[in-house]
Amino acid sequence: MSDLLLLGLIGGLTLLLLLTLLAFAGYSGLLTGVAVSAGSPLIRNITVAYKFHVGPYNDTGQLFTESCCISPKLRSIAVYYDNPHTVPPEKCRCAVGSILSEGEESPSPELIQLYQKFGFKIFSFPAPSHVVIATFPYTTALSIWLAVRRVHPALDTYIKERKLCAHPRLEIYQQDQIHFMCPLARQGDFYVPEVKETEWKCRGLVEASDTQVDGTGADTMSDTSSVSLEVSPGSRETSATTLSPGAGGRGWDDSDNRSEHSYSESGASGSSFEELDLEGEGPVGEPRLEPEAKPLGPLQDLRTSEKGEVQ
């Protein structure tokens, strides 16, 4: 009799544990529908403090933690420039940091100096006229892991089906929500100077390789020379209709291998945002982000250990 009672107690506790885990996952956003839409951005022009990172995206957790420790009340932001499914992990580029100010407000000199003291650089992003956007709950550390695996495939599908040119990919952590945004216009304004520098170096290597091949009389269309970056992030005049087509996505959907580089090659034909039937409902109809954000602190370290698919 005592054995049956013990087994029943163990079974009850196991069931209770499973229900608790399911409730926790649901609260973290497991059952939340992902609605992707296009329209006006949720934020205005912003000034950010960032650190540029070249390497696997799963190594960016420390950058999130570092920026949050400097000023926990500020919103965190990450800008991803490359598709980790088509770009070697050691060459993936991103910028991670905090939003110092938005709109007409200017960041205080003291705040700028504080971030610069810890090696962060200052850069300003504009408010694009139109973006592809999605929102996911940010209630627990598990929310980050779920967002990566649910939102980005939805963005890929939306962009490919409408043949859009939407890049780069921004993540903004605001209180209890994660906002995902892909500009449809003025994309070049979202490329920090280090991206331009890496492209110059890449092009220099390609040109040097072509010169060496020409000197031997061999075919100049080598594997190296066939790789070219078609976006000029340094230009502040880049439009949605001038970028080359390719596969969208941050590596969450690699079924289309036409793109070998960055999100600048998103979409199948680079259609203009003017062709969209812009929705006024859903995420784009929500009010703009508030100035304060939920501190990430050590929670962001989850990106380091569990965000394996994107890194």
Domain-wise residue ranges, the chain: 39-197
Look at strands 169-174 and 121-125 and give their pairing.
unpaired
Identify the pLDDT of residue 204.
60
pLDDT tens-digit readout, 2-52 = 778 888 888 888 888 998 888 888 888 888 888 999 988 888 899 999 999
68 forms beta bridges with: none
d(CA 13, CA 235): 60
* Residue 117 neighbours by CB distance under 10 Å: 9
Identify the pLDDT of residue 287.
41
What's the burial of 89, exposed, middle or buried (CB within 10 Å: 0-12/13-18/19+)?
middle
3-state secondary structure of 271: strand
Instruction: Classify domain 39-197 at the CATH topology level.
Output: Multidrug-efflux Transporter 1 Regulator Bmrr; Chain A (3.20.80)
pLDDT at 259 over 50: no
Identify the pLDDT of residue 232.
39
Confidence band for 276, pLDDT divided at 50, 70 and 90: low
pLDDT tens-digit readout, 78-96 = 999 998 778 899 999 999 9
pLDDT tens-digit readout, 97-123 = 999 999 988 899 999 999 999 999 999
Is 204 or 235 the better-scoring residue by pLDDT? 204
C-beta of residue 74 within 8 angstroms of C-beta of residue 101:
no
Degrees, nearest 5: CA angle 262-185-86: 10
Of 249, 27, 177, nearest in space to 258 by CA = 249
Record the tokens describing residue 100, joined without a space: 């110092």
Please list the helix, strand and coil fractions of the chain in percent, rounded to the nearest 5, in that order. Answer: 40, 20, 45
Is 47 or 201 the better-scoring residue by pLDDT? 47
C-beta of residue 165 within 8 angstroms of C-beta of residue 266:
yes
